[in-house]
């Protein structure tokens, strides 16, 4: 009986010993064959290994813990982290990654992975970080990743091609999620209300997608939130005031949506707010004065809305560096004075607030140590430009265009001037250009167009070695532009835009400058498409190109234009203009130019528009112009050109009659006048008459004939109607007899 009782006890003891042996055996815990197989499957899915890191270091005869980008746990030697960011890998993510059961961190960012994110990743219960940013992943985000990973803290899927909608039960079982970044994808649908269940969320970035609908008020329950980024979507409705109750918020990006209504007034709760971006929406109402209590604000952007009312006094925002309120309906007489209390202000943009109706305070000079860019175009600014603005020695961009400014331009630009772009166009400025601007050695853009400036050509601008844009159009500049001495320093070494149109310049074209426009010669093909980094923060400049006014906000390195139209230039077009073989636009119309069209223009192979109309050019049209394969607009009208119009199978044959009208000696297609027989010529005038008209353009002659016709008609009515005044008839008769006697003597 006792023996039979002991047998089960012995059996139990034996089983217990075997179990203990199995549990204490190191084999199951140190066997990482599963991890190795998963990594090898991952390697097989790589199509391109740019750095050769996997092909050379992921070898089967070495421990996987020594493989590049792989980390293992100390205790069990299982794979806990994979960091292959910036390895230059192409391929897709193998679903076998779901077998790495100890994996806590997966970073494959900044590669060229494609395909879908494997749903098997949601099986990794220890996974805390997923970073697949900056790849080419497509398809939907696996639902389990966003709803059922209890350890997950960090998801970064920025800059991919992911699509679909976020699950409505997002955050149901991801209580530890702190950061979710989906920027720059194609995700659509509603902003999920269940987002508030991620109570530990600190950074929520859904920008540059296709989300629509309202921003849910539940976002205000994310009390740990420091960053809310939803810019560039289709969000609508009001901004929930609950968001402004999240006192930890430092960054709010809601710009580029369709938000409407007014800004919530509880801005004073945001004591940690540093960046507030609300631009490019449909917001209305006034800017709440409570914004002045958000004392940590560094960056405010509220441009392109419909805000009204006055701008609050922002002088309390001592940390403010950037303020943009452009393109609204704000008013603010005298508000500019408040910014003298912002010692760190770098950028102040209030452009396109036509109701502003203010003046520039002389106290702006107090911002001399901080202000870099000041843009106040189209703000109905009155009065004069204060001399103190020349004290802004760190100012890089100054845009006061399209206002009602009067008086002269200050002459106080100091030797330490940092200006790179100066816009004073479309005002009522008078006087001359201040030569003190030559102290601003970094100037790249000068625009004085459409003012009342009376001056000769500012020769000192040729010494600005970085200058790329010079616009003096539509002023009262006059006099000649003298040619440069051979030993003079080459002017305008980087000039790309030279516009002196609609002035009263006389004499010959500035051959010396044309000869030295180096940037307009031999632009390398590899510069095509490159932009010149001219600091242009607001509007740029308007040029007349191909007969139309066009606004340019950026300049390509290959963009070049010369416009000297509507002046009184005389003489011939220099042959050296053919050296500007990278010139894109040339306008010399409405001058008094004589001679022929230089054949060297055929060397300007990049030319897209050519306007030589309304001059006194003569001779035939050079056949070399038919080589200009990019020429899209040409106007040679109102000259004295003759002969057959050159024919070609290219671009030149596309020009219509309007390109040649007013040249009575021309014949051939597209004109109806055939070239058989002697060409039709204009009737020659007497030598004496030509001498009287010499030095006048055809416009002046036409005007004279018109005036003479009117006066002659009046005189005829007086003489025929009343026979008076008799003395005038007798005077005309005597003048006629003297003229005839002189003519007979010349003939004899």
Q: Which tens digits make up the pLDDT trace of 598-618? A: 999 999 999 999 999 999 999
Is the link from the previous residue into 670 a cis peptide, with omega within 30 of 0?
A: yes
Pair 490, 467: CB distance under 8 Å:
no
What mean pLDDT is predicted for residues 451-464? 94
Per-position b or e across 529-567, b if 16+ CB within 10 A of its CB: eeebebebbbbbbbbbbeeeeeebeebbbbbbbbbbbbb
pLDDT computed for residue 212 by the predictor = 95
| CA of residue 691 relative to chain centroid, distance | 53
pLDDT computed for residue 8 by the predictor = 55
Q: Is 115 helix (H, G, I), strand (E, B) or coil?
A: coil
Q: Which two tokens stand for residue 574?
A: 């220099």
DSSP string, 441-474: TT--EEE--SS-------GGGGG-TT--EEE--S
pLDDT computed for residue 139 by the predictor = 96
Span 259-308, pLDDT tens digits: 999 999 999 899 999 999 999 999 999 999 999 999 999 999 999 999 99
Band the pLDDT of 573: cuts 50, 70, 90: very high
pLDDT computed for residue 694 by the predictor = 37
CA pair distance 650, 647, nearest whole angstrom: 9
Residue (of 525, 546, 501, 534) closest to 396 by Cα position: 534
pLDDT computed for residue 551 by the predictor = 53
Which carries the bigger pLDDT value, residue 632 or residue 343? 632
Band the pLDDT of 678: cuts 50, 70, 90: low
What is the 8-class DSSP label of residue 382?
B
Which of 43-57, 354-368, 650-664 shows the lowest per-residue confidence on average (mean pLDDT)?
354-368
Mean pLDDT taken over the chain? 84
pLDDT computed for residue 424 by the predictor = 97
Q: Is the pLDDT of residue 371 over 60?
A: yes
Taken in order of first residue, the domains within the chain and their CATH numbers are: 307-476 (3.80.10.10), 497-667 (3.80.10.10), 687-747 (no CATH)
Dihedrals phi, psi of 619, to nearest 5 degrees: 90, -170
CA pair distance 180, 276, nearest whole angstrom: 20
- If residue 14 lies in a helix (H) or strand (E), which one and from where to where? helix 2-24
The three-point CA angle 163-130-31 to 5° equals: 130
Which of 161-170, 206-215, 532-541 shows the lowest per-residue confidence on average (mean pLDDT)?
532-541
pLDDT computed for residue 518 by the predictor = 87
Q: Is the pLDDT of residue 544 over 70?
A: no
The residue written with tokens 């636009």 in the block is 585
């Amino acid at each position: 009986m006792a023996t039979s009782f002991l047998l089960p006890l012995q059996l139990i003891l034996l089983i217990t010993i075997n179990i203990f042996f199995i549990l204490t055996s190191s084999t199951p815990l140190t066997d990482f064959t599963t991890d190795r197989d998963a990594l090898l499957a991952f390697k097989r899915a790589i199509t391109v290994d740019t750095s050769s890191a996997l092909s050379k270091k992921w070898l089967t005869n070495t421990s996987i813990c020594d493989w590049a980008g792989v980390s293992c746990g100390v205790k069990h030697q299982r794979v806990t982290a994979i960091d292959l960011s910036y390895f230059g890998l192409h391929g897709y993510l193998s679903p076998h990654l779901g077998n790495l059961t100890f994996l806590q961190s997966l970073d494959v960012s900044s590669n060229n992975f494609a395909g879908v994110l494997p749903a098997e990743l949601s099986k990794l219960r220890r996974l805390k970080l997923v970073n697949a940013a900056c790849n080419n992943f497509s398809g939907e985000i696996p639902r389990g990743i966003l709803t059922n990973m209890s350890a997950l803290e960090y998801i970064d899927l920025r800059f991919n091609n992911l699509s679909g909608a976020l699950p409505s039960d997002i955050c149901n079982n991801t209580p530890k999620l702190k950061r979710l970044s989906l920027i720059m994808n194609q995700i659509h649908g509603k902003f999920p209300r269940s987002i508030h269940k991620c109570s530990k969320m600190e950074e929520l970035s859904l920008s540059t997608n296709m989300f629509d609908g309202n921003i849910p008020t539940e976002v205000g329950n994310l009390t740990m939130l420091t960053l809310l980024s939803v810019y560039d979507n289709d969000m609508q409705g009001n901004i929930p005031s609950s968001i402004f109750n999240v006192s930890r918020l430092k960054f709010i990006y809601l710009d580029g949506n369709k938000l409407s209504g007014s800004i919530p007034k509880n801005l004073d709760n945001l004591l940690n707010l540093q960046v507030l971006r609300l631009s490019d929406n449909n917001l209305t109402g006034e800017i709440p004065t409570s914004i002045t209590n958000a004392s940590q604000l560094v960056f405010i952007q509220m441009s392109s809305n419909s805000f009204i009312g006055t701008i609050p006094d922002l002088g309390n925002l001592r940390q403010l560096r950037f303020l943009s309120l452009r393109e609204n309906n704000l008013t603010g007489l005298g508000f500019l004075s408040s910014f003298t209390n912002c010692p760190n202000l770098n950028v102040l943009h209030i452009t396109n607030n036509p109701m502003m109706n203010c003046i520039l305070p002389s106290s702006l000079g107090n911002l001399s140590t901080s202000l870099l860019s000041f843009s106040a175009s189209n703000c109905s600014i009155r009065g004069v430009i204060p001399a103190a603005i020349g004290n802004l020695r760190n100012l890089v961009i100054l845009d006061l265009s399209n206002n009602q400014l009067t008086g002269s331009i200050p002459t106080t630009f100091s030797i330490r001037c940092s200006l790179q772009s100066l816009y004073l166009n479309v005002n009522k400025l008078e006087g001359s250009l201040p030569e003190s601007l030559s102290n601003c050695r970094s100037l790249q853009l000068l625009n004085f167009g459409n003012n009342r400036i009376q001056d000769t050509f500012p020769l000192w601008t040729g010494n600005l070695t970085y200058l790329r844009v010079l616009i003096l159009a539509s002023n009262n500049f006059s006099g000649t532009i003298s040619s440069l001495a051979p030993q003079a320093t080459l002017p305008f070494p980087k000039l790309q835009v030279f516009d002196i149109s609609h002035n009263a310049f006389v004499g010959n074209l500035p051959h010396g400058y044309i000869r030295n426009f180096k940037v307009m010669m031999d632009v390398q093909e590899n510069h095509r498409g490159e932009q010149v980094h001219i600091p242009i923060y607001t509007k740029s400049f308007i040029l007349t190109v191909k007969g139309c006014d066009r606004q340019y906000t950026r300049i390509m390195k290959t963009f070049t234009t010369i416009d000297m139209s509507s002046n009184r230039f005389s003489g011939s077009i220099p042959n050296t203009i053919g050296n500007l073989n990278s010139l894109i636009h040339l306008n010399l119309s409405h001058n008094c130019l004589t001679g022929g069209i230089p054949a060297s223009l055929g060397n300007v192979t990049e030319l897209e528009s050519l306007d030589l109309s309304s001059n006194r050019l003569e001779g035939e049209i050079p056949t070399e112009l038919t080589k200009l394969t990019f020429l899209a607009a040409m106007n040679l009208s109102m000259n004295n050109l003759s002969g057959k119009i050159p024919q070609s199978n290219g671009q030149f044959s596309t020009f219509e009659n309007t390109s040649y009208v007013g040249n009575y000696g021309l014949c051939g297609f597209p004109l109806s006048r055939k070239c058989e027989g002697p060409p039709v010529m204009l009737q020659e005038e007497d030598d004496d008459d030509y001498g009287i008209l010499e030095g006048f353009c055809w416009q002046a002659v036409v005007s004279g004939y018109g005036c003479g016709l009117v006066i002659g008609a009046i005189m005829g009515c007086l003489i025929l109607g009343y026979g008076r005044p008799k003395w005038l008839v007798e005077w005309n008769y005597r003048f006629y007899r003297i003229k005839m006697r002189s003519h007979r003597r010349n003939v004899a």
